[in-house]
Amino acid sequence: MRVAVDDLPDVTFAADVLIGADGIHSGVRARVFGPEEEYLRPLGMRAAAFIVTEPALNARFRNRFLLTDSINRMAGLYSLRSDEVAAFMVYRDATDPTGHQRSGNPRERLRREFAGLGHTVDRLLELCPAHPYDDVVAQIVMPGWQRARTVLVGDACGAVSLLAGQGGSLAIAGAALLGDVLGPVASPEGIGSALAEFERRWRPVVEGAQAAGRRTASSFLPASRTQRLLRRWIIRATHLPGIDRLVARQIVGRIAK
């Protein structure tokens, strides 16, 4: 059985199975299932990330992950093994509810959005490359993942958003399950039922992770001083005897599911 993954623009549909594993902005999905706008569900935020070389910050924050305690925007950094520092930024995006890529220079947009968060963040913004990663925080929600002999896996059909995590694990586990259900298929006639079985078994897992992601999104980025204060209390509570173990068990339990 031949399997094609649409990495290239000139891919044909002659293969027995076409698997779209090309991410949240999937080209396979757009060509087979329709425009991205029909399935993209923005969560009201954008995320940016980039890596810079900055020995001073690397040494200062080595073995630490730093996040700003700010409203409607949050910047974080952590040191890598070299002299590099990885920056991670999340900010509200009420101006573009469709999730379309915003116009303009992304570096200048980040500098504008995150100005005034202190010398450390200012230094990161000063070193920000011309084309940092900057994309909508969103999920992909579809009524069906397979059509004829085409099927989507990973973020292409069930992106949970970076706030939920598990995206890489879900993609790998989903692909493994897809391989398991397609493996025994001996003829083209059995492909459709195998793809339907894959979706039947895997969709509840993805939908559960997406629901958790939406809950996380509602409190991830405080929109007011009251919400920020509540988050502070929650973080402090995790350091109380017994509470830290309870939180750890809940996290492990969610991952195990």
Average pLDDT of 152-173? 90
CATH number 3.30.9.30 is the correct assignment for the domain at 41-138:
yes
- Whether residue 56 has pLDDT greater than 50: yes
For the residues of 67-89, what is the DSSP string, one character each? E---SSEEEEEEE-SSSEEEEEE
- pLDDT at position 226: 80
SS (H, E, C) 117-164: CCHHHHHHHHHCCCCCEEEEEEEECCCCCEECCEEECCHHHHCCCCCC
CATH of domain 3-38+141-218: 3.50.50.60
Average pLDDT of 224-241? 69
Domain 3-38+141-218 and domain 41-138, same fold? Reply is no
When comparing pLDDT for 223 and 134, which is higher? 134
Report the alpha-carbon distance of residue 102 to residue 93 in Å, rounded.
Answer: 10
Report the alpha-carbon distance of residue 12 to residue 80 in Å, rounded.
Answer: 41
Own/partner pairs for 98-105, CB < 8 Å, 24+ apart? Answer: 98/37, 98/40, 98/42, 99/36, 99/37, 99/40, 99/41, 99/42, 99/136, 99/138, 100/136, 101/135, 101/136, 102/46, 102/134, 105/130
* Residue from 242, 250, 172, 245 nearest 206 by CA: 172
Lowest-confidence region among 102-116, 143-157, 183-197, 230-244: 230-244
- pLDDT at position 246: 47
pLDDT digits (tens, 9 = 90+) for 167-199: 889 999 999 999 999 999 988 889 999 999 999
Amino acid at 152: L
Distance of CA 226 to the CA centre of its chain: 27
Average pLDDT of 125-145? 95
When comparing pLDDT for 67 and 234, which is higher? 67
- pLDDT at position 253: 44
Burial degree of 226 (CB within 10 A; 0-12, 13-18, 19+)? exposed
Q: What average pLDDT does the chain have?
A: 83
Average pLDDT of 5-21? 60
When comparing pLDDT for 16 and 175, which is higher? 175
Distance of CA 236 to the CA centre of its chain: 27
- Whether residue 254 has pLDDT greater than 70: no
Domain boundaries, the chain: 3-38+141-218, 41-138, 224-256
DSSP classification of residue 16: S
Six-digit token string for 130: 């011309």
- pLDDT at position 132: 95
